[in-house]
Structure 1
């Protein structure tokens, strides 16, 4: 009788535990590979959403610039430890590469950037940046929170994954091409495809935008020092005026787009800084100018023409000019080109997850992204997650007034997790069909 009572007690306890798990909104049950909406329900649960918001706010309060993301990286590793997810660190100084699943092929990667910008935050709120002159003004704090949210979901369901998910927490996206360094250090070894998601105020909340082919332009910078001979402003004939030369250079650079570029081939050349002189009555010895150039094609030729225009226009005005096309180590970033097959898979996943009207066909954007290095190495897909609310305005990226609509975080986490599961499932089906 005692044995029977003991067995009955154990059976009752087991049933109670099952009921508790099935009713807990913070856990995933069932085959989520068949129903991606379970990921979204999970990510929207108060416990998980609040957790992602807390992570995002902690990172926002303590912004770190490229290759300086030591505390951000420490936080990421701590959360992965709590989940029981494996990872490799350091990769590219501060980067973290996590692994979830079987540890065997196929491998698919999800990427989040994690660096801040050298800007002063002008948004007054409880979690404003605590570091003067540094701010998360492009949503990378949100990107980290979304990828950790996806990691949490995938890890809880790791036994059902039909392959491996690689989590790329990347440093130095903004200016130092951290993706390139991560590639060199083997972050994408064995990986067959990679997906990236970026928050944006240009797409309505709950919608996602992307396109096949060229999405973002190749981008880079230039800086030039135009040197003449300074002197008294009242006797300019005794000087070689670099101000006049610089003015001519700025105007002539605009002709590279208006007169040398096919109107159907988008290019941008912008002079965004001019420095020189410190007195009203003194012509300076030199002027420094700098700016950016963007192109979907013919980028190298555009670089060459920028250099030619600056040096030759300076010569016309009897000045000398030195041109640096990688100022402060900021190299050019290639265009971001989305793989056609991955785009089809992504669009299908978004419509299943968020509804038929949730996907928006994006137009090409002249902004640049070093995700392009990943997408050059293997098939890649980059997309934008909308956060613009009808009741509240959100500033664009790189604005001192930039804010993240935290209600969008569950959508990004669910999209990350869903596209990874769907990719692995499709790859398993391909193998089965071949057999």
Structure 2
């Protein structure tokens, strides 16, 4: 075993095994969550989840356009006799299982697909050209419905209310923010979210306390010059050359202005300008993303991106404008997991999956709008593995070749249900407010 693996093993063991009694729930009434995985693996439940997931996968919908997905969710909730609110944030659905009174704990799934063409040839390939569930949100919705089915069967034993959050527009649209702005989760005490990943095997989970995913923003810049014949550049103002300088200078923001111990990213992923070999265009458009974990570093990047684009364009006589899409694509805060919920997650996951199936992981520069929930309430976000070591290696999310191992569905459903019910068992009643009243309604 090399040093990294040894340290990794030590960390996992230390974090999740330092207090063995932590994993033994106090009495028999608190053993309920350990039965959920067996329930989720029953053929009738598993086959039902597979059918739902495949139907959603065949009909992907982009952010705030998830009308058919939302309809399917409501139909399944109706069959399960689970009440819900709709519409919330245009296509969102908020369901309720339990006493319909406090305490409230939420479990969340995102619904939207990506604007990309699926390249996987199989029976249930996307039927919508240019749209694909390439980030696993079809599985996320299915796992939450699976949790709902299991929880409904145990509703009389739930000591509080489990709130089911079917959220639109995670992929850049900030659907979580709209859910909060609608006031749908005002008295929720905590929220949990899961995301599938091919980086871990089936039956394993991974997360960490504190910063997990970076804050994220987008930008687009238009650099304008003066077009002309490529053979007579002196009569033009070349925006392609100016834009090249802009892109190089943007990379210096991280390499020369950021603390090397403070992870940051600036990436230009879009460059559009000119359509002919012998014509200098009038303008060039570039676009990209920037990431950081602290709010201070994030705001510094935003300020410097605008300054560098405008100033570097001016060096070569061009004008520039920068758009950060703050109205259309709100900046995502960093995803920061609550430490108390980290301990709760460890307890539940070890009970459900086994101590060697729970992994600590380093922070990633990816982003998630789950972070909006964490800005207003304790929240915890974790990854659940879909890789089968004996099968082909699965592609990463956002790949046109991304595939889901459907064996993950019962694990995700059981973990969702276990996290919620165990949380309510540990927080059996609401705390009175300063006015002496209880927050009894959502």
For normalisation by structure 2, the TM-score amounts to 0.89
Please tell me whether residue 177 in structure 1 is matched to residue 184 in structure 2: no
Q: Secondary structure at the match of 1:93?
A: coil
Unaligned runs of 5+ in 2: 1-27, 432-442
User: Residue 322 of structure 2 corresponds to which residue in structure 1?
Assistant: 323
User: Residue 246 of structure 2 corresponds to which residue in structure 1?
Assistant: 249
User: Residue 21 of structure 2 corresponds to which residue in structure 1?
Assistant: none
Q: Is residue 103–residue 429 contact of structure 2 (8 Å, CA) maintained in 1?
A: no
Rounded Cα–Cα distance in structure 2 between residues aligned with 1:34 and 1:205:
23
C-alpha change, 1:327 and 1:287, in structure 2 (3 Å) is farther
User: Residue 400 of structure 1 corresponds to which residue in structure 2?
Assistant: 400
C-alpha change, 1:133 and 1:328, in structure 2 (3 Å) is farther
| 1:125-155 C-alpha deviation (Å, 9 max, x unpaired) | 0000000000000000000000000001111
Q: How does 1:47-196 map to 2 (within 5 A)?
A: 47-196=44-193
User: Residue 13 of structure 1 corresponds to which residue in structure 2?
Assistant: none
The Cα shift of 1:33 comes to: 3.8
Rounded Cα–Cα distance in structure 2 between residues aligned with 1:165 and 1:377:
18
User: What is the aligned counterpart of 1:197 among 194, 197, 202?
Assistant: 194
C-alpha change, 1:353 and 1:210, in structure 2 (3 Å) is same
Rounded Cα–Cα distance in structure 2 between residues aligned with 1:331 and 1:430:
33
Q: Secondary structure at the match of 2:427?
A: helix
Rounded Cα–Cα distance in structure 2 between residues aligned with 1:132 and 1:50:
27
Q: Is residue 168–residue 187 contact of structure 1 (8 Å, CA) maintained in 2?
A: no
Rounded Cα–Cα distance in structure 1 between residues aligned with 2:209 and 2:245:
40
Aligned length: 401
Rounded Cα–Cα distance in structure 1 between residues aligned with 2:337 and 2:53:
28
Please tell me whether residue 223 in structure 1 is matched to residue 234 in structure 2: no
Q: Secondary structure at the match of 1:36?
A: helix
CA RMSD of aligned residues (A): 1.2
| 1:155-213 C-alpha deviation (Å, 9 max, x unpaired) | 11000001000000000000110000010111212100000000001122211000011
Q: Is residue 208–residue 360 contact of structure 1 (8 Å, CA) maintained in 2?
A: yes
Rounded Cα–Cα distance in structure 1 between residues aligned with 2:135 and 2:361:
19
Q: Is residue 102–residue 429 contact of structure 2 (8 Å, CA) maintained in 1?
A: no
Rounded Cα–Cα distance in structure 1 between residues aligned with 2:290 and 2:205:
27
Rounded Cα–Cα distance in structure 1 between residues aligned with 2:224 and 2:185:
45
| 1:251-305 C-alpha deviation (Å, 9 max, x unpaired) | 0100011101111110000000100111111111101001111110111111010
The Cα shift of 1:120 comes to: 0.2
User: Residue 27 of structure 1 corresponds to which residue in structure 2?
Assistant: none
Q: Is residue 32–residue 39 contact of structure 1 (8 Å, CA) maintained in 2?
A: no
User: Residue 22 of structure 2 corresponds to which residue in structure 1?
Assistant: none
Rounded Cα–Cα distance in structure 1 between residues aligned with 2:326 and 2:277:
29
Rounded Cα–Cα distance in structure 2 between residues aligned with 1:388 and 1:410:
15
User: Residue 38 of structure 1 corresponds to which residue in structure 2?
Assistant: 35
Q: Is residue 249–residue 314 contact of structure 1 (8 Å, CA) maintained in 2?
A: yes
The Cα shift of 1:393 comes to: 1.2
Q: Secondary structure at the match of 1:342?
A: helix
The Cα shift of 1:331 comes to: 2.1
User: Residue 365 of structure 1 corresponds to which residue in structure 2?
Assistant: 364
User: What is the aligned counterpart of 2:277 among 271, 275, 280?
Assistant: 280
C-alpha change, 1:188 and 1:429, in structure 2 (3 Å) is closer
Unaligned runs of 5+ in 1: 1-30
Rounded Cα–Cα distance in structure 2 between residues aligned with 1:249 and 1:388:
41
The Cα shift of 1:428 comes to: 1.6
User: Residue 409 of structure 1 corresponds to which residue in structure 2?
Assistant: 409
Rounded Cα–Cα distance in structure 2 between residues aligned with 1:33 and 1:159:
14
Rounded Cα–Cα distance in structure 2 between residues aligned with 1:148 and 1:32:
24
For normalisation by structure 1, the TM-score amounts to 0.91
C-alpha change, 1:295 and 1:170, in structure 2 (3 Å) is same
| 1:369-392 C-alpha deviation (Å, 9 max, x unpaired) | 000001111000000001111122
Q: Secondary structure at the match of 1:195?
A: strand
Q: Is residue 274–residue 281 contact of structure 2 (8 Å, CA) maintained in 1?
A: yes
